[in-house]
Structure 1
Amino acid sequence: MPPLDITTSDLGQFGAPAETFCLITTEQYAEPLSLLPGDGCSRVLRLTLPPGARLGEVIERSVPEGAHVLAVCPGRFLDSPAERELGGRKLAVLPAGSTPLTGEQISYFLRTAARTDADRQARVAEEFFDRVGESRRLTIVDAASGTEAEFDHELGDCVWNQQAGVMEPGDQQIFPPGKLSVTAAEITTFAPDARLLGLNGDLTLRGWPIVHRHEDPADGPDQQRLFEALTPLVANAVTLHITAGSIEGVTPQTAAAAPAAAELDKLLTDDPRYRVIWELGFGINTTTEVIPANCGPNEVYGATGGVVNLGLGVTPATRFALAFLCPRSSLLTSDGTAVLGARKAVRRGRMQRISSAGCGCH
C-alpha cells in the first residue's frame, strides 16, 4: 500500500489549529500513514495505546491541554473519555474496534475525512435542526415500498446528538464526521425502559446492515454470521411494524427478503431489548461512500441528500448493536417538505442538540 500523506489542517472538523496534534494508535496499526503539521501546528505527537489502557487515561496523562487528538486503534473498543480526562482537548475517534476494519478501509476513511467540508456539515446540521424544531411531527417514508412512520419528537425524553461540523474544546466526535441522531436516552447509556414513544407506523429496511460488537473477541464469529444473515437487506426490503418506539413485527416485502426477516425476528424473540428503536440516525457525510462490508464508519454515509438509519441495541448492554442504512427513505416535516433523504428540500431552522457526547460504538 502506498504511503498516505495527510496534513493536520486537512482535517477540518478540528477547526482552528492547535500547537500540538496527537495521533493515538495501537501497536497493531502499522499502515504507512504520514501525518504532517499544517499551518499553525508546530508538532505531531504519536502515541501508542498500551494493551489494557483506557484512551481517557492516556490523553489525560500524555497529551498537552488544548491539543487536537485523533484515535485510530483497529481492534480496540474505545470508551469515551470522561470530561475531566479530555479537558479542553478536541477528540476524533475512528470507529475501528466494534467492527472489523482492514488497513485499506482505514486509509480510505482517513482520505475521505481529509476531503470532508466540516463547515458545510455545520450548515447542514443547522438547517436540519431548525426544520425539525419548527415541525410538530415528522414522517419517515419509503416511496418505493409505500411505508410510512410518524415521529412525534416532542413526546417522551428525546436526546438529539450532533457528530458533525467543527468541534469546540472538550468535544468528542466520530471520524470521519457526519451523523445527526435522536436517541431514547443519553446515547452511551442503554436504558431498557426508554423509548422513542412518538415513533409509530411502518419502516422499511433496505440497505447495508452494520453489526457492532463489544470487547470480547469470542463474539467475532457470531458477529460475522449475523452480518451475513442480514446482507439480503442490501437489495431486498423488510418492513418493521412500530408501536411507541418498539418493533411489534417484521414482514419481508419479497421472497428474497424472507431469510433476513426471519433472522431479525429470531433476534427480537431471543432478546426483546432489540425491539427498542434506540436511535434514529441521519448520515450527512456526502464525501464518503458505503464500504460493502460490516463497517462501522458507514453510519455517516449521506449519499447526496442525507441517509436515514436505524439503531437497535447498545453494547455492552446487548451483545451486539445493529444499525441499518435506509438510503431510499426520506424524513419529512408535517407539511410534507423533505428535511433529509431521497426527497430532500432546502430550508433553514434551529434546535438545541448535544455536540460533546461520544459515540456509543467506537
Structure 2
Amino acid sequence: MPEAEPGQPGDIAVGSDGMVELRLSKFLALYDGDFGDDFLLITSERVRRSIRLVADIPQPVHEMKWTGPESRAPFVEQLREWRARERKASVLWIAEDLFEHLLDEDGAGVKLGAISYNSSEFTPLSLSQYLRIIAGTDYESELAVEGKMLSLMDDAEALVLATPALGTRCVFQHHEAEHWFSFHGPLRYGDQTVLPTGEISTLADGPGAYDRNSRLPIDGEIVIKGSPIIHRGDRSITAEHTADTYTRLAPIEDLPVVAHVRNGYIHDFTAPIPEAKRLRDTFRALVEAEPRYRKIHEFGFGTHPGCADRLRSNFHPNERWPGIHIGLGLGGYTPFHIDLALTEVEVLLDSAEAGMVPLYQTLGLRR
C-alpha cells in the first residue's frame, strides 16, 4: 500500500481489527459542503462488515443493504419519499456489484457518489485507499486544473504522444473528437459519479453507444506500459474471467508493447524488447478473439495527484492518475471495457506559436 499523498488524511486506514473507519465529516467537500437533509449509506454485506461508521454530521444517517438489482426499487422509493417531503439527500454507495445510474427524475435532489467493486475483489485495504483519495481531494483545485487543461488543448493544433526512449510517436487530432466528458469537482444535486473524480475523456461514440466503424483520429505508435484496469461488461461475465484477463495483461506494469494505430484502429502489436514477445502475443490473441478491441473507444486524461501512486492490482482509481489512458471495448458489446493507463507516454501540445509543450508539466501535475 503506497503512502498517502501530501494533504491527504493519514488516519483513514485499516485498524488492527481489520475495520476501515468511515468518518462522514471527512467527505463534506465531496458533497460540495452540503449533505442536504438526509445522508444515506448503501453497502453490500461484506463491505458493511468491514466499516466502522462514525456518523459525526448533523443530518440523520440512514443505512440500506444492497444485495443486487432487486435493491434498486426500494432505493428509488426511498428517494421518492424524501422528494415528496421536499427533503434533499446525499448518498454514498459502496457495493460488490455493478453501479447503474439512476434515471434523471429519480436522481433529482440527490448527490450520489459510488464505489463499485463489480470488477475487482473487495478488500479493506483497497477501500481505505479509495477513502484516502476521496477525502483528500481538493475539488476546487480539480475544477481549476480542468479549466486550464481545456484552455491549453483548445489552443493546441494537435496532441503528440511520444516515447523518445523507444522512438515512438503518435498524433491525436483532438479537435475532431466529438464526445467529451468531465469527471471533476464536488457533487451537486442531480449528480451521480463513480468515485474518485479527476478525469476528462473523449469517446468515439455517444454515451452507452458503440459503433464498430466510428473512429477517434489517432495515428502512429503508442507504447503500452503502465496499469491495466479491467471492467466487467455485465453481470454475466464471471469474476474468475475478469481476474484472468487482468492477470494476462498485468505484465504491462513492467514490460512495453507497441500498438500500431491508424485512424484510431490498432492494426498490430509489436515487442520493442525481446522480453515483451509473450506479452505482444497476449495482445494479439486478445484482438483476434474479439476484433472490437482493436478500436480505441476512449481516450482519457487523468488529473488526480492522489492517484499518482498506482496500485499493482485491478484498481479503478489507477485510471485517474496524472496521465493518459486508452479504453478498448464497451460493456454490452464486448466482455470487458479495458482501460490501459500509459505511464511511458509523454503528452505534448503541438502549437504553431509555442512549439511542443508538455501538457502535464505545464499543468503542474506530478508524473
TM range (shorter): 0.7 to 0.9
1:137 aligns with 2:158: yes
1:175 aligns with 2:195: yes
Q: RMSD across aligned C-alpha pairs, in angstroms? A: 2.0
The CA distance in 2 between the partners of 1:192 and 1:86, in whole Å, is: 32
Residue aligning to 2:299 = 280
Equivalent position amino acid for 1:327 in 2: T
- CA, structure 1 residues 328+116, in 2 after alignment: closer, same or farther (shift >3 Å)? same
1:226 aligns with 2:245: yes
The CA distance in 2 between the partners of 1:89 and 1:190, in whole Å, is: 29
Could you tell me whether the CA contact under 8 Å between 1:239 and 1:252 is conserved in 2? yes
**Out of 50, 53, 63, which is 2:70 matched to?**
53
Shift of 1:27: 2.4
Unaligned runs of 5+ in 1: 348-362
Whichever structure has more helix as a proportion of its residues is 2
The CA distance in 1 between the partners of 2:221 and 2:28, in whole Å, is: 39
Equivalent position amino acid for 2:172 in 1: F
The CA distance in 2 between the partners of 1:37 and 1:217, in whole Å, is: 39
Larger mean Cα displacement after TM superposition, 317-326 or 42-51:
42-51
Shift of 1:58: 4.3
Could you say which structure has the greater relative contact order, defined with CA pairs below 8 angstroms and 6 or more residues apart?
1
* SS class of match (1:185): coil
1:125 aligns with 2:146: yes
Residue aligning to 1:70 = 92
Deviations along 1:155-213, one digit per CA (max 9) or x if unpaired, are 2x5211111212332122221222221111224333323221x2111111111112221
Residue aligning to 1:93 = 114
Larger mean Cα displacement after TM superposition, 250-259 or 287-296:
287-296
Shift of 1:125: 1.0
Shift of 1:4: 0.6
Could you tell me whether the CA contact under 8 Å between 2:119 and 2:239 is conserved in 1? no
TM alignment of 1:4-23, pairs within 5 A: 4-17=21-34, 18-23=36-41
Shift of 1:312: 0.4
Equivalent position amino acid for 1:122 in 2: L
Residue aligning to 2:8 = none
Shift of 1:52: 2.9
Could you tell me whether the CA contact under 8 Å between 2:219 and 2:261 is conserved in 1? yes
* SS class of match (2:30): helix
1:203 aligns with 2:222: yes
Larger mean Cα displacement after TM superposition, 169-178 or 259-268:
169-178
Higher Rg of the two aligned structures? 2
The CA distance in 1 between the partners of 2:319 and 2:244, in whole Å, is: 20
Deviations along 1:278-306, one digit per CA (max 9) or x if unpaired, are 11111211113312112223222x2xxx2
Shift of 1:94: 1.1
* SS class of match (1:337): strand
Residue aligning to 2:264 = 245
- CA, structure 1 residues 278+33, in 2 after alignment: closer, same or farther (shift >3 Å)? farther
The CA distance in 2 between the partners of 1:54 and 1:280, in whole Å, is: 33
Unaligned runs of 5+ in 2: 1-17
Could you tell me whether the CA contact under 8 Å between 2:19 and 2:50 is conserved in 1? no
Residue aligning to 1:185 = 205
1:323 aligns with 2:339: yes
Deviations along 1:94-147, one digit per CA (max 9) or x if unpaired, are 131122232221122112211111111111111111111222311222233232
Equivalent position amino acid for 1:19 in 2: D
Residue aligning to 2:323 = 307
**Out of 315, 338, 361, which is 1:295 matched to?**
315
The CA distance in 2 between the partners of 1:166 and 1:77, in whole Å, is: 22
Aligned length: 334
TM normalised by structure 2 equals: 0.85
Larger mean Cα displacement after TM superposition, 245-254 or 41-50:
41-50
Larger mean Cα displacement after TM superposition, 289-298 or 29-38:
29-38
Could you tell me whether the CA contact under 8 Å between 2:22 and 2:54 is conserved in 1? yes
The CA distance in 2 between the partners of 1:292 and 1:147, in whole Å, is: 25
TM normalised by structure 1 equals: 0.86
The CA distance in 1 between the partners of 2:249 and 2:225, in whole Å, is: 10
**Out of 323, 326, 333, which is 2:349 matched to?**
333
1:28 aligns with 2:46: yes
